[in-house]
Amino acid sequence: MTDLSIGNWNARFIRRAVAAAIGALALVTTGAQALTVYSAGPDELIRNLAEGYERATGVKVDVFQADTGKVMARLEAEAANPRADVVISASWDSALDLHQRGWLLTYQSPNAAKVPALYKGPSYVAQGLSALAIAWNPGSGTPRPQDWSDLAGEAFRGKVNMPNPAQSGTALELLSGLQAAHGADAWKLFGELKAKGMNISGANAQALNPVLQGAKAAVFGAVDYVTYGAQAKGEKVDIIFPSSGTVVAARPMMILKSSKAQADARKFIDYVLSDAGQTAVARVYLIPARSDVAAQRPGLDSFKALPPADAQERAGRQALLERFTELFARR
């Protein structure tokens, strides 16, 4: 299966991410016997999972937490001397790529029996699921959007943010899913959004914060669990699943074959897929990977999901990213 290679991420972003990952972010704890987990947010979830695992096993967990781009950049930078044991990403493509490259340990947790086949493979399994949505501030003075195309209307001129797909794996998955589903019409929409001044704004939180603060009206491609979390804190924001469909983003977990703590790494995957681990996943408003654990937000049956990506779609994502970046770089 051909897939988006880590080495093909936007070059400028890789250089910046490697520097940031190595120079600015540090492991949370230290210890020769610790299990090292690299995780693409949410920070609250990995912190709770690490603490729960430590209580259950007595094994300390070192955590490097960042966005997907920085996690993947750090893995690439450390390829000659790997440090991570377990990796949790927000991009399913990253798991497929690492599997293709032979970096991952084959492991099927017994606790993955209730994870749908679509969300697990020989060396990776979903931690949880999210979907991409419109996050809309009802106090913005704009009409309530129902579909992606509504954000290209005149009422939303200069009032829409989108996470940068060079930094957000889920944003790239959304672009890819929309192109696969709608072809040229998707690019017509991207052009209209550009013409109406849609701003490409960092990773997911950076895109959402101005909407919560009232500086913007909506996010095109908000990660739903982040927005549900903001709602739970009292923020005035609505989550709207577009009528034409959206992308489900699975968050893969994987063990590096280079790990010197493979037994503990397997136990960590088992813990995340245990009742306690999946309950922690649900508490941050992700949909649990296990179908027998209840979510604390609307589930997969509450919106129209676009078909999952195939190998051809994934293989074209680097070209898609370059085309999109070029479009929004034009004056």
**Whole-model pTM?**
0.84
Is 225 annotated in a binding site? The answer is yes
Of 105 and 329, the one with more pLDDT: 105
62: enclosing H helix or E strand: strand 61-66
Of 33 and 281, the one with more pLDDT: 281
Report, at the CATH architecture level, how domain 130-247+309-329 is classified: 3-Layer(aba) Sandwich (3.40)
Are 6-128+250-298 and 130-247+309-329 the same fold in CATH?
Answer: yes
Give the pLDDT confidence of 257-295 residue by residue, as tens digits: 999 999 999 999 999 999 999 999 999 999 999 999 999
Cβ atoms of 238 and 136 within 8 Å: the answer is yes
Q: Tell me what the pLDDT averaged over the chain comes to.
A: 90
Give the pLDDT confidence of 187-237 residue by residue, as tens digits: 999 999 999 999 998 888 899 999 999 999 999 999 999 999 999 999 999
According to CATH, the superfamily of the domain at 6-128+250-298 is Periplasmic binding protein-like II (3.40.190.10)
Strand 218-223 vs strand 160-162: parallel, antiparallel, or unpaired? parallel
pLDDT level of residue 27 (50, 70, 90 thresholds) = very low
Q: Residue 192: its pLDDT value, please?
A: 98
> Is 90 exceeded by the pLDDT of residue 24?
no
- Sorted by where each begins, the domain ranges of the chain are 6-128+250-298, 130-247+309-329
